[in-house]
Structures are given as C-alpha cells and as structure tokens.
Amino acid sequence: MRYRVEVKFHGDFIEVLEDRIIVGVKSKPIGGKANRELIRKLAKHFGVSTSQVRIVSGLRSRDKIVEIER
C-alpha cells in the first residue's frame, strides 16, 4: 500500500488523515537519519518490520511517497 507522507521536524508524533500521514521526527536530515527514523516510526505504527517500509519518492523532500508491504 502506498501513502503520501509529510515530515515535520522537531516533533514526535504520527497523525493519520484521510489522504496522508503526517510524521514528526526529531532527527536532523543529515546522512539519512531523518529518513531512517521515519521508516522506524511507520513500521512500528503499522506493525511491520522496517524492511517492509520503503520510501518510493521524495528522499530529499518533506513530502514523500512511502510503500508499506503487508
């Protein structure tokens, strides 16, 4: 399943809206740390392993398309 994800910095939350998911991350976007935190949070929220969560589009953007395999 693919989801539109918006990343907000300096927060620690997941907000699921009708057509998108807003995720707050505390890591800085240096060296992929924020993306790794995003993947961990989404995996935990959906109850899957981190290997089942993949950023399809937007690796360097706050707006991403994320695929979650179930």
Q: Would you list the domain boundaries of the chain?
A: 2-68
**Is there a contact between 21 and 28 (Cβ–Cβ < 8 Å)?**
no
Task: Give the angle subtended at the CA of 13 by the CAs of 10 and 19, to the nearest 5°.
Answer: 115
d(CA 32, CA 19): 25
Residue 19 pLDDT: 86
Task: With 0.85 as the threshold, say if the pTM is over it.
Answer: yes
Model confidence pLDDT, tens digit, residues 21-70: 999 999 999 999 999 999 999 999 999 999 999 999 999 999 999 999 98
- pLDDT tier for residue 9 given thresholds of 50, 70 and 90: very high
User: Does 18 have pLDDT greater than 90?
Assistant: no
Strands 2-9 and 21-25: parallel
d(CA 61, CA 70): 25
CATH architecture of the region 2-68? 2-Layer Sandwich (3.30)
